[in-house]
């Protein structure tokens, strides 16, 4: 695939839905040990904790050698062996509640 072909992926968006459950927030808190997080049902999720949710889910048969979903869907099928998060724009219209 030439670099010119990769431009078809520029500007694509992906919609991911998830449920923000207390158990996952408590697991994150056990790892991070935040000093003042109030983690109860109905409380707002602490800033940046949305990264613990909305994760890609793929059957094992559809994983690449790096453990991520195979390329060619949202991620272009580039031949490089490593992936890097290069940025995103995320808009929250209201606080994410546990």
Provide the whole-model pTM: 0.70
pLDDT of residue 3: 61
Alpha carbons 45 and 21: distance in angstroms, whole number: 10
Q: Is residue 25 over pLDDT 70?
A: yes
| CB 72, CB 34: distance < 8 Å | no
pLDDT, average across residues 31-59 = 90
pLDDT, average across residues 59-65 = 89
pLDDT, average across residues 65-86 = 79
pLDDT, average across residues 47-71 = 88
Alpha carbons 38 and 40: distance in angstroms, whole number: 6
pLDDT, average across residues 71-85 = 78
């Amino acid at each position: 695939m030439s670099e010119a072909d990769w431009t078809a992926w520029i500007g694509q968006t992906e919609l991911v839905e998830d449920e923000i459950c207390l158990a996952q927030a408590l697991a994150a808190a056990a790892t991070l040990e935040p000093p003042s997080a109030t983690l109860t049902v109905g409380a707002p999720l602490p800033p940046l904790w949305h990264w613990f949710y909305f994760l890609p889910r793929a059957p094992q048969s559809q994983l690449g050698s790096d453990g991520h979903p195979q390329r060619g869907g949202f991620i272009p099928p580039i031949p490089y062996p490593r992936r890097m998060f290069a940025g995103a724009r995320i808009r929250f219209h209201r606080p994410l509640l546990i």
